Structure 1
């Protein structure tokens, strides 16, 4: 009798999601890009992955094999415009990401914006670094009225806008920051207004708003201003403000419409409120950088403010604010960047570090990351 022995070899099989598209992000500059929010055209992704399920895909760092935080950006359209990702890319190097089927992780919200009707029509926005607000119709004509952007300093990565409004004591530091910035009759932390006949022509406060995108990586909204008289020129404005995770600065895109028989550039200024005590000022017309390291306000610390213009400018300081003047054409967008930082957050502890940040930010605007989808 012959005995037959059958040996069964069990070979483990690893099942992994199949890559549907590959994104290459290249940094050709001499500086590292950290926590950069990058926009990849959704159309280019659809060209490679036309059957993508927007509720069932992940973005994977091909080197670490970990998921990458992402957001689908709509902007002014109901359709998806971009895939946003936040990544680090070292100088002179390339990063590869893959898009695969899968369940995305629950990402930490890093940006947030909202209309605040319970506080006289404020509109507030923040990210994991800093927070801002501007004023609405309900505050007009009161002794609280102000024309510029306000800064809410913070030293936490949490979203704090709602907590501060609920507490209703945001002029006191309860451990995560406060509002001690002074706007007054200035453009505050980088608002823009017409500059006609050597005078800043402030608008009234915004009267309408529209929230376009709201985190986790980018929040974008529009503020609509009613017509006002700018030294004999009737002007209306729409301001589209975008704040990315990790950034100290908001991107501001303004469109001015003005009443003129003949098309002409309208003089405009970006302004930063100046304090009576001495502070450190940078007016770099060549790079379009206007910056201010404020005098220290006792236990509240020091606020830093800065604006970066992308159009030719000349700059000066008057008694109440720093001003950067440029021009804008009728019904054509003008883009600049403006924001702030706080020394007690620990990231910027002196004027030199703040000025260097703005200089690097300016270089990054001029040297964007190179993106390809395969």
Structure 2
């Protein structure tokens, strides 16, 4: 009898050890992500990027869970090299001042997916060759080689501009497809507000909001229409794409650039990372339209803004620069249409510059006014200068 009892106890102990071993194996597939806000300000929404660790490499069914609330988060798995396997994961979170939070990355089937509220970028063949992108806050577009060729050939309907156009939206869901569909059925559709916003921002041959150029002898030479595009990632958390352009600048001093642009959920800005050849400097800027607005520049925070009346509303266009690339600012005031600009000058480091371009439109009611927008610009500048601290174990 005693022998049988000892045997049962041994079996029970072995079973417990087996369960513990299985539990340890399961837990070993979990990665703890620790994210800290190093600043004394709250960060209402921020994108976190985490490299997928070796023990989860090759797994395409991954989830991220908030360790404290145990809630699954919306994520984006990113495969940049095209091998069908993700290299890193993106998710978003909010942080209080000096707050540290933890998340669990593990294998599992996702239950949280994006709806109509997402980032989105695409080529638009139904409108010549526009390229457009958006998130829940803002939308933008640029113009392609066919649109430039139409202008050069004297064909009506083309656009010759390297500037960035702003689409002013009131809603958080995607509008690109529906606005273009409306415009195909009824030309000029997106120039009228049907309750979602509209495109009434004039670019012309200016820089628009964040186009690029190069300065020689005090003269601005702007880049022209993009010549080729490549969508790298396409939402829901972030969208990234490349835009190539033809050389620009004075003869014998042409500059080449390759733009990598990205837009995250919750941001009023597009981030531009530009590879530059032919010059150590590049210039970006904002068109001043009819020059009835107010230019504001904070050189400590490295941002410049043009706040102006806009078709019965108000519009603030801004450039925010990482300080290491900032090389000062200037204004160009001209009586010639589309030639007046607030210019932010950039110095290339290892052949690259970085900046953020975006806007706030009073019709969207995202900001109470100019002062609140400028406070936001200071926060964006601080986030650029003091990024979140991310570690994994």
* Same structural fold, with TM-score higher than 0.5 when normalized by the shorter chain: yes
**Secondary structure of the equivalent of 1:213?**
strand
**Secondary structure of the equivalent of 2:70?**
coil
Residue deviations 1:242-285, cap 9 Å, x none? 10110111110111222xxxxxx533211101032522221122
**Partner residue, 1:121:** 129
**Partner residue, 1:25:** 35
Count of residues in correspondence between the two structures: 346
**Partner residue, 2:300:** 286
Deviation of 1:185 (Å): 2.3
Residue deviations 1:106-143, cap 9 Å, x none? 42251000011111111100001000000101111526
**Partner residue, 1:9:** none
How many angstroms apart in 2 are the aligned matches of 1:28 and 1:122? Answer: 40
Return closer, same or farther for 1:77/1:53 CA change in 2, 3 Å cut-off: closer
Deviation of 1:102 (Å): 2.4
**Partner residue, 1:39:** 49
**Counterpart selection for 1:198 from 218, 236, 240:** 218
CA contact (8 A) 1:33 1:89 kept: yes
Deviation of 1:52 (Å): 6.3
How many angstroms apart in 2 are the aligned matches of 1:371 and 1:122? Answer: 37
Deviates more, 1:320-329 or 1:348-357: 320-329
**Partner residue, 1:336:** 355
1:7-22 → structure 2 map (5 Å cutoff) = 18=27, 20-22=30-32
Q: Does 1:92 align with 2:111?
A: no
Residue deviations 1:15-37, cap 9 Å, x none? x9856111111112111112211
Q: Which runs of 5+ in 2 are unaligned?
A: 1-22, 152-157, 184-188, 334-339
**Counterpart selection for 1:273 from 280, 287, 291:** 287
Residue deviations 1:44-75, cap 9 Å, x none? x22xx3366312x3211111111111111234
How many angstroms apart in 2 are the aligned matches of 1:235 and 1:92? Answer: 43
Residue deviations 1:280-315, cap 9 Å, x none? 2211223210111121312xx222211012213221
How many angstroms apart in 1 are the aligned matches of 2:262 and 2:250? Answer: 26
> TM-score, length-normalised on structure 2?
0.83
- Which structure is higher in helix share? 2
Deviation of 1:369 (Å): 0.9
Query: RMSD across aligned C-alpha pairs, in angstroms?
Result: 2.1
Q: Which runs of 5+ in 1 are unaligned?
A: 1-15, 259-264
**Partner residue, 1:150:** 165
How many angstroms apart in 1 are the aligned matches of 2:330 and 2:240? Answer: 30
